[in-house]
Structure 1
């Protein structure tokens, strides 16, 4: 990829971006779910189904609040920051003006996604009367990036940030797609996710193009240094600790017996996916690493050996 020949997608953004084309979505007061059951395994555990199914909607509403909180952190504190620094030419990796214009469209999109998410939080609060519990101040990515950057040479910290954000943008797109197609969920929320997906598909391509360019121009020594910190990034990005802690907090707010509470805690602790190549996000991450060129570098392949699928 020759970044000097980069063609901006701003015209496509003007025609199709959801901030340009979508009306405000309103939450329906119907019997559909506010959050997919498959995304909150707590409500599917044997103990929950048998002992306290009456708490299902409360748990789903609180899980929706956490999801919205995660979106706002992801969009405004992480992706917005990286894209804005690129747009304002404050990034140590230089990009031409056309890239910087596209980066600013990402800033606008992400802040709009956060606005829509907060609007849905308020609509949900007004409709259900359920107040959000204390929501996490961090998401996995906001821990994974500084952990990886701390182990990288100072001159590579922006490059590590670029690659980490690109990994997240590519893996979240597929996650959002599954959410948008779940017919058990309220139509407005599926529409919200479909809108988000529409923009994120463009973002995923944008970040992949930038990483392709960076990786082609990086020195062999810099590539090897970044390869060394990728497992550190993935170990923090793919952890279930924040979700587990949130679920344990949720259990404490249920009006149930101490024995049922203990059984739910035990089941929640077993719900985490192992941080290996079998993790549900790893397929999307591996695809990104292939398309961006990172997996064509032997040191990256070696560093990520534990995450790669075993050849048939």
Structure 2
């Protein structure tokens, strides 16, 4: 099968053998040392300006120790979300590309590139689990039992319920393509705060070393897959893309996490709930949000927004694209 794909007028890289060549030279698993947290160094484990619950007036005099605990818990959730996203969704989608008998035929080179993504993502999970274990050993109060599922994971499951079962695998691949073309730059910027612990900055930078390469692969894979979808699948999946984008970029998981935290230190659930709602009041996933702009840009570049089913979906949620 001849592989002919590009995004816009750009010659294919992400789906070609050049991708593997770059992976051999640049992947973190081949080039980066083991990640250990140096607990003797100063710094918060999560950017304090990215933790909205600190806006709660009742926490204005919070001690450094309690603030550190909150930010440790925030990193703990972040790492657990990575494990869930990369194992249950990203690697799952790549395995479907490689092994499943799908209506879209993927040539050998795309499958080979998918293998490299699986290796990268399992390495990311390994590093994340190692950091989780280091944190749990240092801070025994940390537990994974009460962590809410990420909005990304919930969004995929919700859309699956709406789709014909025969389209689940293809939707999962498309959903992962959208995930992987959204957050690379933002995540790097997210942890750039001067107050963030050096070990965490190092971890995030190494992670993004791979994700910037994955971006190219999944952007081209999105166009390749969409261009070859059967009409029925295109209608079924396309009509749900807008709802999926709005759901997966939501903040319900973050709100639940912060409410649980407040409940653990302040014994007034109703007031805590009102506080969380007030902190996030006015936030809405709209086309003006920078991360949403990234998604819309990817959908435009790959041709999804040229499809009437996709466009009508955005019209139905009130977005003018």
* TM-score normalised by the chain length of structure 1: 0.88
Deviations 1:113-157 (A, max 9, x none): 011011112222333444336343632222211322332233332
More helix by share: 1
Distance 1:89 1:101 in 2: 14
The answer to whether 1:70 aligns with 2:81 is: yes
Query: Relative to structure 2, which stretch is displaced further, 245-254 or 94-103?
Result: 245-254
The answer to whether 1:121 aligns with 2:161 is: no
Equivalence map 1:137-286=2 (5 Å): 138-219=149-230, 222-254=233-265, 256=266, 258=267, 263-272=271-280, 273-286=283-296
Query: Relative to structure 2, which stretch is displaced further, 28-37 or 119-128?
Result: 119-128
Hey, what does 1:7 align to over in structure 2? 16
Two-structure CA RMSD over aligned residues (Å): 2.5
Query: Relative to structure 2, which stretch is displaced further, 294-303 or 111-120?
Result: 294-303
Could you say what secondary structure the match of 1:171 adopts?
A: coil
Equivalence map 1:4-83=2 (5 Å): 6-8=15-17, 9-28=19-38, 29-50=40-61, 55-83=66-94
CA distance 1:309–1:192, shift in 2 (3 Å): farther
Q: Contact between 1:34 and 1:185, CA under 8 Å: does it hold in 2? A: yes
CA distance 1:190–1:309, shift in 2 (3 Å): farther
Deviations 1:1-48 (A, max 9, x none): 815985121111111000000001221222211111132111233322
Hey, what does 2:307 align to over in structure 1? 297
Q: Contact between 1:37 and 1:44, CA under 8 Å: does it hold in 2? A: no
1:302 positional shift: 2.7
Distance 1:307 1:26 in 2: 47
* TM-score normalised by the chain length of structure 2: 0.86
Q: Contact between 1:171 and 1:284, CA under 8 Å: does it hold in 2? A: yes
Q: Contact between 1:286 and 1:308, CA under 8 Å: does it hold in 2? A: no
1:252 positional shift: 2.0
How many residues in Structure 1 have an aligned counterpart in Structure 2? 307
Could you say what secondary structure the match of 1:281 adopts?
A: helix
Query: Runs of 5+ in structure 2 lacking a partner?
Result: 7-11
